[in-house]
Structure 1
Amino acid sequence: MTFRKLFVIGAAVAALGVAGAAVAQTAAQKSMIDQAKAQGVVGEQADGYLGFRSSSSDAALRAAVDATNSGRRAAYARSAADAGTSADVAGARMFESQLLPRIQSGQWYRNPQGQWVQR
């Protein structure tokens, strides 16, 4: 199997895993995270996880981000096991193929160099 086919299969499996993890996330948590993204408090990161761009003392938001990242961590681990790679690679691939294209204008993301960039 070529690397390209392996990459495509891995990305597809990761997408399904993250979709499953998203189902576990409540609508309230998703709404809270979406609002925090719009405000620039939370953003996607090149490692495939959500991160705080600025400090937040909102315990509910922190819990929502933690729950989302926990679901993603499990999905990346499953995807990595299926593709024969690491969870770190699976998360980075998910960011590039699925998460980065969905970032809306005005929202922030952390690039692979660790810098926060506004789209």
Structure 2
Amino acid sequence: MSFRKAFVVTAAVAALGIAAGAALAQTPAQKSLIDAAKAQGTVGEQSDGYLGFRTPSSDGSLTQAVQATNDARRAAYARSAQAAGTAPDVAAARAFETIVLPRISSGQWYRNASGQWVQR
């Protein structure tokens, strides 16, 4: 891994550390909604570093919770990318690969880089 890639990964790790629980942007109730939706397979992590809906949901509270989390992540990835001199989508993808993917629990879903939903 080149120095630049290592720096991007390190910066993405720091950025996601801020956004992982989205404590700055989501309430405990929103985190609980997301955790339940992940367990049910409605929501999953995506290789682009954001949460996504695997199945449609009419729950407005869940939609708001996912949006709050993704907004916090977007801001963190932008800060990380600026510090690393790269694009936010690169920082987001690196964070997914190095932090998020290894932490996805058995039975939960994630969208891979090919756009397919995969159950762990």
Structure-2-length-normalised TM-score: 0.90
1:7 shift after superposition: 3.4
8 Å CA contact retained: 1:21, 1:75: no
Amino acid at match of 1:3: R
Please report how far the alpha carbon of residue 3 of structure 1 lies from its aligned counterpart in structure 2 after TM superposition: 2.9
Distance 1:53 1:12, change over 3 A: closer
- Tell me the amino acid that sits aligned with residue 109 of structure 1: Y
Aligned to 2:98: 97
User: How many correspondences in the alignment?
Assistant: 119
Relative to 1, partners in 2 of residues 1:118 and 1:5: Cα closer, same or farther, differing over 3 Å?
A: closer
The answer for the alignment partner of 2:119 in structure 1 is: 118
Point out where structure 1 has 5 or more consecutive residues left out of the alignment: none
Letter matched to residue 99 of structure 2: Q
Deviation of 1:4 after TM superposition, in Å, equals 4.8
**What CA distance in whole angstroms lies between the structure 2 residues aligned with 1:20 and 1:79?**
17
Unaligned runs of 5+ in 2: none
1:108 maps to which residue?
A: 109
Between the aligned partners of 1:91 and 1:111, the Cα distance in structure 2 is 13
Report the alpha carbon displacement of residue 117 of structure 1 after superposing the two structures with TM.
0.1
Q: TM-score, normalised by structure 1?
A: 0.91
Task: Give percent identity, aligned residues only.
Answer: 65
Name 1:67's counterpart in structure 2. Answer: 68
CA offsets per residue over residues 48-107 of structure 1, 9 Å max, x none? 000000000000000000010000000000000001011100110110111111100000
Contact 2:9 2:94 in 1 (8 A): no
Q: 3-state DSSP class of the match of 1:24?
A: coil
For the aligned residue pairs, the C-alpha RMSD in angstroms reads 1.7
